[in-house]
Amino acid sequence: MNYELQINVVSNCFWLTRKIGSVIRLLTSLRSWSFSYSVILLSVLVSNLWAQSDYLIEPLSLNNNYTNEIFAIPYEKGIICSSDRRTHVLVSRLDISNQQLFHLFYVSQKDSNKWSFPHLLSKNISINIHQGSCSVSADGKEIYFSVNDETGQRIFSASKSHDDWTNIRPFAHNRPNYTTTHPSLSSDGKRLFFASNIPDGFGGFDIYVCERTSSGWGAPKNLGPEVNTPENELYPFIQGNGELYFSSSAHDSMGGLDIFSVRENNGVWGLRYRLDEPINSTADDISYTAADADGTHGYIASNRAGKSFDLFSFKSFFPVFNNCEEQEENNYTYEFREKMAMGLDTTTLRLMWDMGDGTTRYGEEVEHTFPSIGQYDVYINVVDTLTGEIEKHVAHEVVHVLDIEQPYITVGETVNAGTPVSFDASNSYLPDLYIEEYYWMFGDRKRKKGIRTEHIYTAPGVYRVQLGVIGRSKWTGEIEKVCVYREIIVQ
């Protein structure tokens, strides 16, 4: 009899067909911050593992001891910043309390930390009132900015025309006797975040968002108690990846105002997290903006260096891993079927499977779980139950049982808040990489490096843990990045 061996490993979408004497079908696998005006490089080593990722924090050269710089956002080949510096060497513009006015300046970047002399962003915008933070649309054609005069703080917008800002108009949801300030426009231009002390908030200043409709901006929506507190929440910044940053004087602030972040999931804002040092300090850290969608570099404003507020650039050396797939669980259980043996139950012949690991199975279809990864010689023997005769090895196939090629997170599905949780990546299976480093992201903005590490969650919840691996290909020599995630429950 001529047999056809067909192997189908469904989980790997792999097919092999060849002529050999019988059919074995693998049907499926069931399977403590310090500062100086030189570059700050924070590298905290704890138990041979890197703590919060390395950051390069550097004061901008445009800072000085006589003025305040309270906000910066990337724009064209430099930044727009809000500063109370003079607009002209011989002219001082003061408010009614005799304080120097804040204006929006454009500063072009010459190299990594050399900046041009600040110039007014626009004479149309920089009138004789304070201008604070601003936000520019992704296409550079629309700007939202806050102003402050004797009637209060309000938001205005303008349009770009012939290299200047024109058509200045008030935000639809400015309200008399209340403050509306610190606008931040989403990268798609569909949402505007801002801070306000309008009624029915949680106290102080709260963060709100408006959705853009065909007729303009919809009604403001308070972001809720996970973001807002009885204290003040200010300077929202919506990052390109959907993460919201803002400053707050509440919760576990390190001192004064600190920078926090929060993510939205299905319309609900989750737990807020305070960013670690060196982004935050024991001084007032009032604004954060990123220059890219993943927040690998950007700007913060802080008075950590002295009495005035200064601008600092930050750069993270912790790699970004995007499009991570959910971790699959390894399973060494397979189903085997002998197609050509149909009807044997009407005879005295029975199939005996030698699984190659010291066990045997009987029947036309069998299920078997191998003890571990490895190479197994699977044989079919035919037994005559009437005579007891055995025809050995009528079919044979080498079965390679392998782990799924992926980084692998080993951690309990349910862990307790406030106690150390162990994470292990040693079961990762990446045979084509020379692994250089493992990177952990614990779902609460905390990150570490190393094949094994520990982490303490401060609050109950469901956390998405991400494990990224960087290695060099054994075949091309090129650096590759792979990652997985899995969710854990913290009680």
Ranking 10-14, 92-96, 213-217 by mean pLDDT, the lowest is: 10-14
468: nearest Cα among 432, 431, 442, 488: 442
* Residue 72 to residue 195: CA distance in whole angstroms: 17
Phi, psi of 433 (to 5 degrees): -120, 140
Instruction: Please spell the DSSP secondary structure of 185-245, one letter per residue.
Output: E-TTSSEEEEEE--SSSSSSSEEEEEEEETTEE---EE--TTT--SS-EEEEEE-TTS-EE
pLDDT of 242 > 60? The answer is yes
pLDDT at 17: 26
Tokens of 3: 């047999």
pLDDT at 120: 92
pLDDT of 444 > 80? The answer is yes
pLDDT at 265: 83
pLDDT at 39: 38
Please provide the average confidence, as pLDDT, over all residues in the chain. 85
User: What residues have CB less than 8 Å from 214, skipping those under 6 apart?
Assistant: none
CB 81, CB 104: distance < 8 Å: yes
Ranking 79-83, 224-228, 339-343, 456-460 by mean pLDDT, the lowest is: 339-343
pLDDT at 28: 27
SS3 call for 12: helix
pLDDT-derived band at 393, boundaries 50, 70, 90: very high
Q: What percent of the chain has pLDDT over 90?
A: 67
Per-residue model confidence as pLDDT tens digits over 138-161:
999 999 999 987 778 999 999 999
Per-residue model confidence as pLDDT tens digits over 1-35:
434 444 333 333 222 222 223 333 322 222 222 22
pLDDT at 99: 76
Q: State the sign of the Cα–Cα–Cα–Cα dihedral 429, 432, 436, 441.
A: negative
* Residue 335 to residue 24: CA distance in whole angstroms: 9
pLDDT-derived band at 137, boundaries 50, 70, 90: very high
- The model's pTM is 0.77
pLDDT of 440 > 50? The answer is yes
Tokens of 52: 């919060």
Domains and CATH numbers, the chain: 4-31+328-401 (2.60.40.10), 55-316 (2.115.10.20), 406-490 (2.60.40.10)
Strand residue runs (E) in 319-445: 325-326, 333-337, 349-354, 360-362, 365-369, 374-384, 390-401, 414-415, 420-424, 433-441
